[in-house]
Chain A
C-alpha cells in the first residue's frame, strides 16, 4: 500500500470528508427522468430544488419491450417511441438533459473485491473489462462500463461495476434522441430504487418487474450483493416458493461472506399480492418483511411530493428522486 493510499484512507475515516466526497462524486441529476419498463413508460420532471414538478405515465402494449442484455430490446419500437413521445410531451421535455432508468436485465451488475485497485479510471476500466470478460455473454469491447468504489469488508477495495452492451443502450437512447433530449444518465431501475432502502442494518431487496427478479443486499452504505434473474413467469403469477428459490442463493452468499443474517426484507413490484409473500419470507429470514415503498414512506425517507409516484409503484423514479446528492 503506498503512502498516498494510506493517507487517503486516513482522510476518508472522517465523516465530513466522506460526505464531501459523496457530494462531489454524486451522479448528475437532470431535470427530467424516464423509467422504461416492460409494461409502461413513466416520466417525471423535477424543480431545481429537486422537488417533483410533474409526472406522466403511458402504458405500452404487452410484448413491445423484451428486456435483455444481449438481444434487441425494442420489439415494437413504434409503440415505445409513441409512449415516450407522449410522456415527454406531457412533461414539456425537449432539448435538455434526461436520466433513463432501464429494465434491470439490460445492465449486469457485479460486486467484486480487489486487494489492490488502480486509483485512475484510465487504468481501472481496462482491468475491469479484462476481469469481466468471461462473466458476460457478449464481447466486452462493445460494452459500456461504469464502476464505483465502496468501503471494503476487510483490506483492499470493493468495487461495484455496471456493464451493458453498447448496442442495447443506444437502442434506448435513440428513443429520446428524436425528441432532442440528451440522455446523460443511464442506469437500471433497481439501482435507482436501492436509495429507498434503510441500510443501517443488513437489508435485502427483492424487486420484481415483468419476469425479472432483482435481489440486492445493502449494509451500512455498501452494496453487499446483487443478482438479477429470470422468473419462470411474470409478477402476477409468481409464487412465494419461486421467489424464495431465486432470493435464497444471494442471501446464503451474504450470510457466508459477512457472517451475519439478513435483518430486514423489502419487496417491490408485487402490488396487491404482497401479503401472500410476507409470511413465507418472514419464516425464511426471521425478520420484518415490508413493501419497499410503504417502508420508505413510513420511515419518512420519501417527501410528500413523491407520494403520488409511490402510489403508482414507480419505485425506480422515487429512488432516483432521492439520488440527488
Chain B
C-alpha cells in the first residue's frame, strides 16, 4: 500500500488529473474527428459516384443527340423524303387494306336508319383500334337523331363523338350534314 502524504512546504502538484482529462478529451475529439472524417469520406465518395453517373448520362445524351441529328439530316435528304412519303403512302394502303370493308359496310347497313346516307368514311387504325370518321347526310333533324341513337345502341360501333353538324337549304345538298367519330369493334 502507498501512503500518499506530502509535507513539503512547496509540494509538487500532480498533473495527472489534467493529463488524464486532456487525454480523455483528446480521445473523444479523436473519435469525433474519425467519425466526421469517415462521414466526409463517404459523402465525397457518393458525390464522386453521382458525378461520374451524371457525366456518363450526359455523354450518352450527347451521343444520342448527335445520332438523332445525323438521322434527322439523313431523313431530310430529298431522296429520303420521297422515300418517306412513299413509305407513308404504302403504310396507309396497308392500313386501309387491313380493315374489313365488306364487314364494316354490312354493319353500317344494319345500323344506318332510313333517311340518311354516308357521304364519307375515313377509318384509321391506331394501336389495334379502328377509329372511323363519318360524314353523314340526313334528310332532316329527326333522321339525324335516329342516326346517332342507332350508333349509340350499335354493337359494332361505340364511343360516338359528335364533331359537327350543319344544316343547308341549298338545292342539291343534304338538308343536314353530321360529322362524328366512332370506334369500330370488328376488324
With A26-B14, A28-B14 as given contacts, are A173 and B3 in contact (CB-CB < 8 Å)?
Answer: no
Nearest B residue to A161 via CB reads B5
The answer to the question of A66 belonging to the interface, with a C-beta cut-off of 8 Å to chain B, is: no
Whether A27 contacts B4 by the Cβ 8 Å rule is yes
Within 8 Å CB of A23, what residues of B? 16
Interface digits, B1-37 against A, CB 8 Å rule (1 contact, 0 not)? 1111111111111101100100000000000000000
Residue numbers in B under 8 Å from A194 (CB-CB): 1-3
- Tell me if A147 counts as interface (CB < 8 A to partner B): yes
A 130-170 contacts with B by CB, 8 A? 144-148, 160-164, 166, 169-170
> In chain A, what residue has the closest Cβ to B13?
A28
Contact yes or no, B16 A144, CB < 8 A: no
Contacting pair B5 A187 (CB below 8 A): yes
CA A313 to CA B20, docked complex, whole Å: 36
Contacts A24-B17, A26-B14, A26-B16 given; indicate if A191 touches B5 (C-beta within 8 A): yes
Roughly how many angstroms separate A248 CA and B16 CA in the complex, as a whole number?
A: 40
Query: Does A146 contact B7, Cβ atoms closer than 8 Å?
Result: yes
A214 within 8 A of B: no
Bitwise interface map of A from 183 to 195 toward B, beta carbon under 8 Å scored 1, else 0? 1111100011011
CB distance from B125 to the nearest CB of A (A): 87
Contact status A170-B9, CB under 8 Å? yes
How many B residues touch A, CB cutoff 8 Å?
17
- Interface stretch (choices A86-94, A216-224, A227-235): A216-224
Report yes or no: B12 in contact with A30, Cβ–Cβ below 8 A: yes
A197 to B2, CA, bound (A): 10
Q: Specify which chain A residues have a CB less than 8 angstroms from the CB of B5 in the assembled complex.
A: 27, 107, 109, 146-148, 160-162, 187, 191
CB distance from B4 to the nearest CB of A (A): 5
A246 contacts partner chain B, Cβ-Cβ < 8 Å: no
User: By the criterion of a CB under 8 Å from any partner CB, how many residues of chain A are at the interface?
Assistant: 46
CB-based contact A186/B6 at 8 Å: yes
Docked pose: A160 CA to B20 CA in angstroms: 26
Residues A25 and B9 in contact, CB atoms below 8 Å apart: no
A89 to B88, CA, bound (A): 116
Residue of A nearest to B19 (CB): A24
Nearest chain B CB to A180 CB, angstrom units = 13
How far, in angstroms, from A120 to B20 measured CA to CA in the complex? 20
CB distance A182 to B7 under 8 Å? no
On whether the beta carbons of A148 and B3 are closer than 8 Å, the reply is: yes
CB contacts (< 8 Å) of B2 on chain A: these are 22, 26-27, 194-195, 322-323, 325
List residues of chain A with CB within 8 A of the CB of B3: 148, 160, 187, 191-192, 194-195, 223
Chain B positions within 8 Å of A288 at CB level: none
Cβ contact within 8 Å between B14 and A164? no
Shortest Cβ gap from A131 to chain B (Å): 16
Known A187-B3, A199-B1, A223-B3: A24·B20 in contact at CB below 8 Å = yes
Tell whether A53 is near chain B: CB-to-CB under 8 Å: no
Assess whether A27 is in contact with B6, with CB atoms less than 8 Å apart. Answer: yes
Q: Does the CB pair A146–B6 fall under 8 Å?
A: yes
Q: By the criterion CB–CB under 8 Å, are A162 and B7 in contact?
A: yes
A58 located at the interface, meaning its Cβ lies under 8 Å from any Cβ of chain B in the complex: no
B8 close to A185 (CB less than 8 A):
yes
Contact assessment for A28 and B7 in the assembled complex, using a CB-CB cutoff below 8 Å: no
The verdict on A195 contacting B6 (CB below 8 Å), with A26-B16, A30-B12 known, is no
B residues near A (Cβ < 8 Å) are 1-14, 16-17, 20
Interface residues of A, Cβ cutoff 8 Å to B: 20, 22-28, 30, 97, 100, 107, 109, 144-148, 160-164, 166, 169-170, 173, 182-187, 191-192, 194-195, 197, 199, 218, 221-223, 322-323, 325
| Contact sample, A vs B, 23 pairs, CB 8 Å cutoff | A23-B16, A24-B14, A25-B4, A26-B2, A27-B2, A28-B12, A107-B7, A145-B7, A148-B4, A160-B5, A170-B9, A173-B8, A184-B12, A186-B6, A186-B7, A186-B9, A186-B11, A191-B3, A192-B3, A195-B3, A221-B1, A223-B3, A323-B2
| Shortest beta-carbon contacts, A-B, top 8 | A184-B12, A162-B5, A28-B12, A186-B8, A146-B5, A191-B3, A144-B7, A186-B7
Seed contacts A24-B20, A146-B5; 4 additional CB < 8 Å A-B pairs: A107-B7, A182-B10, A184-B12, A223-B1
